[in-house]
Amino acid sequence: MTVHRLTGWAAARPLLAMVGLVIIAVTAGCAASKPKPLPLEPLTPKIAGALVWSQRIEKIEFPFTVAVTRSAFVVAGGDGTVLTLDVDTGREVWRGNAAAKLGAGVGASSDGRFAAVVTRDGELVTFEQGQVKWRKPLTTRVSTAPLIAGERVFVLGVDRSVQAFDAIDGRKLWSLQRPGDPLTLSQTGVLSAFKDTLIVGQGPRMAGVDPLKGTVRWEVVVGAPRGANEIERLADLVGPAVRVGDVLCARSFQAAVGCVNAERATLAWSKISGGTDGVGAGADYVFAADASDRVTAWKFSSGDVAWTSDKLMYRGLTAPVSVGKTVVFGDADGTLHWLARDTGEAQLRMSTDGSAIISAPVVSGSTMLVVTRNGGLFAFRPQ
């Protein structure tokens, strides 16, 4: 179930979870007051791109992510189908099925050997080359795709608990449960790897965890909670985090965009920003859209604002991806927008199937994959 972007705190498209109960972060009548998208200005393309292949999976009604391996994209449909597709051609490498509807996206090992999903019923299902290898019931609701690294499967619950399982036989290796607020986001959180450290979002904090023991090595606050009530004070980190060298950048829900030096375990910078979706980053800039879809570029080194653009406001933008000299956003009409990295000037637009693009575009080599609500998979490549 999805909550559409509105204005102010009610813009929260995610769901909220409180003591096992899920509620929607919208007030009655808000949806009717949603501003209309700004009309798109005429555009003469300044760069060229082409659709090189497309595929289709079942309609997606869960927090979606695409996993990227050395040579393939791994995706999962709402019916439990898991597909590995060759990056260059879209050819199906293998197909599996969890035999249940999914509640979270797919994670995969870098070599493509293992993949894992979580079902709506709270079962972790791990595949090896398309065959179900093992299943394990979980004790917490999950909205974040599992992470597979070092032959371990890591799971982040909406209650901020972290569990680790052996990828080979499914043995539970450890569990980390930390005190948290009664209200948390049911949205993709931060769960990634940095060298020999597991990176997890713990409310507004980015934490470094020992992947072998499940103990916390360090934590850094990215965004300070603000507001008069529990909903307004939600500041959980929204994933996925974006890594550039030793630095990981992420959004603190409705509070801030910030970057953490994971090698030094220090905050590089944090800037107030009221958005609800993830960020993109390259060597020079960090990019994100706020709750009204105003796009901002911050200088990667300092966090100073480089430019802003209000030309895509109220279009339901995804988190972006930084590619070469551009930054790319998807929108709720299924359109991809390429903007100049240095200025925000529109460079190119391309359409998909008319349904909303539901997650940040992902890139492998020169191929960019976008996924729509109706299950369309569209691979683009510069010309």
Q: Give the pLDDT score at 47.
A: 97
Bridge partner residues of 238 (DSSP): 251
Q: Which two tokens stand for residue 293?
A: 């879809």
pLDDT over 50 (residue 142): yes
Whole-angstrom distance, CA of residue 99 vs CA of residue 81: 8
Q: Give the pLDDT score at 99.
A: 96
| Mean pLDDT taken over the chain | 90
Cα–Cα distance list, 344 to 230, 242, 244, 383 (Å): 35, 20, 21, 21
pLDDT over 50 (residue 5): no
Cα–Cα distance list, 128 to 125, 164, 216, 259 (Å): 10, 17, 30, 35
List of domains in the chain: 45-62+285-383 (2.40.128.630)
Q: What are phi and psi of 38, to 5 degrees?
A: -65, 140
Contact 112, 86 (CB under 8 A): no
pLDDT over 70 (residue 210): yes
Q: Is the dihedral of CA 43, 44, 46, 52 positive or negative?
A: positive
pLDDT over 60 (residue 26): no
Nearest to 97 by CA among 117, 114, 73: 117
- Report pTM: 0.91
Q: How buried is 4 (Cβ within 10 angstroms: 0-12 exposed, 13-18 middle, 19+ buried)? A: middle
> Average pLDDT of 37-56?
96
| pLDDT per position as a tens digit, 359-374 | 999 999 999 999 999 9
pLDDT over 70 (residue 354): yes
Whole-angstrom distance, CA of residue 155 vs CA of residue 165: 8
Contact 248, 199 (CB under 8 A): yes
Q: Give the pLDDT score at 185.
A: 80
Which band of pLDDT confidence, cut at 50, 70 and 90, is reported for residue 181? Answer: low
Nearest to 285 by CA among 263, 268, 267, 302: 302
Kindly provide the b/e burial profile for residues 163-196, where b requires at least 16 CB atoms within 10 angstroms of the residue's own CB: bbbebeeeeeebebeeeebebbbbbbbbbbbbee
Q: Give the pLDDT score at 21.
A: 38
User: Can the peptide bond before residue 240 be classed as cis, meaning omega within 30 degrees of 0?
Assistant: yes
Q: Give the pLDDT score at 178.
A: 80
Residue identified by tokens 């371990």 is 152
Which band of pLDDT confidence, cut at 50, 70 and 90, is reported for residue 180? Answer: low
- Look at 12-16, 52-56, 108-112, 159-163 and tell me which has the smallest mean pLDDT: 12-16
Residue identified by tokens 């991809």 is 336
pLDDT over 80 (residue 138): yes
CA trace torsion 224, 4, 312, 228 (10° rounding): -30
Q: How buried is 242 (Cβ within 10 angstroms: 0-12 exposed, 13-18 middle, 19+ buried)? A: buried
Nearest to 277 by CA among 158, 339, 359: 359
Share of the chain above pLDDT 90, in %: 83
> Average pLDDT of 134-157?
96
Q: Give the pLDDT score at 88.
A: 96
Element (H, E) at 250: strand 247-252
> Average pLDDT of 247-264?
97
Q: Give the pLDDT score at 7.
A: 28
Residue identified by tokens 């802003």 is 308
Q: Give the pLDDT score at 184.
A: 78
- Look at 122-126, 179-183, 214-218, 322-326 and tell me which has the smallest mean pLDDT: 179-183
Identify residue 70 by its one-letter amino acid code.
R
Share of the chain above pLDDT 70, in %: 91
Which band of pLDDT confidence, cut at 50, 70 and 90, is reported for residue 182? Answer: low
pLDDT over 80 (residue 15): no
Nearest to 199 by CA among 188, 187, 211: 211
Q: Give the pLDDT score at 204.
A: 94
pLDDT over 90 (residue 296): yes
Identify residue 29 by its one-letter amino acid code.
G
